[in-house]
Amino acid sequence: MADAARSPISLEGLDLAALVASRVCHDVISPVGAIVNGLELMEDGADQATTELALDLIRKSAKTASARLQFCRIAFGAAGSAGSAIDTRDAHQVATNFLNDDRTTIDWHIPPAFLPKNRVKLLLNLLMLAAGAIPRGGVIKVEMTGEGDTAGFAIVVTGLNARIPPHANELLAGIPANEQGTIDAHAIQPYYAGLLARAAGMSVRIEKIEDRVEISAS
């Protein structure tokens, strides 16, 4: 396959950090911008009805921004850096707050446990890929395979027109999605997930099977 013949992506630490930071900012800038818009409406001497609408926008946007930041803190950051494990209950909470909405539901079947940090970070990054597989919404069912330091994950994604996110397999393997061999802030997330998998000694597989997408990490 032509893509597989491309040289693996090689990023300096500073470039990787900059791209991950850009991705986090991309996820947060929309709700923060909505908060600013709501405040501007109120500052313009809006009537009572408009003020109520602005306050509702601010409340919803602040909740969204908080959920995204808490998720990114674990998925991309050094949350719990004092130890080498993360509680799956924390992962469940941030994943539910971040991904559950009126279109998408997380069906969580992972028992409470402290798992190695990179495995939990990988799980959250795979859930981001899973959400990208159902742009019109659906159900993301996640289970744990194995336990402890050898725990893996099985994710089944169902929804209208479920499909493998573009270039996900190449980027997970560290292969660039373009002929130039470069990577941008949009593509950094699956690439980063691949780095986490390799750091944890795991491999990731994404397949489209009939009307669902299956993601496994072991």
In this structure, are residues 217 and 124 in contact, taking their beta carbons and an 8 Å threshold? no
Q: 1 falls in which pLDDT band (50, 70, 90)?
A: very low
pLDDT in tens, 147-204: 888 999 999 999 999 999 989 999 998 888 776 667 888 889 999 999 999 999 999 9
Distance CA 140, CA 158 (A): 7
Share of the chain above pLDDT 70, in %: 92
pLDDT value, residue 179: 67
* pLDDT value of residue 3: 45
pLDDT, tens digit, 9 for 90 and up, residues 80-117:
555 688 999 999 999 999 999 889 999 999 999 999 99
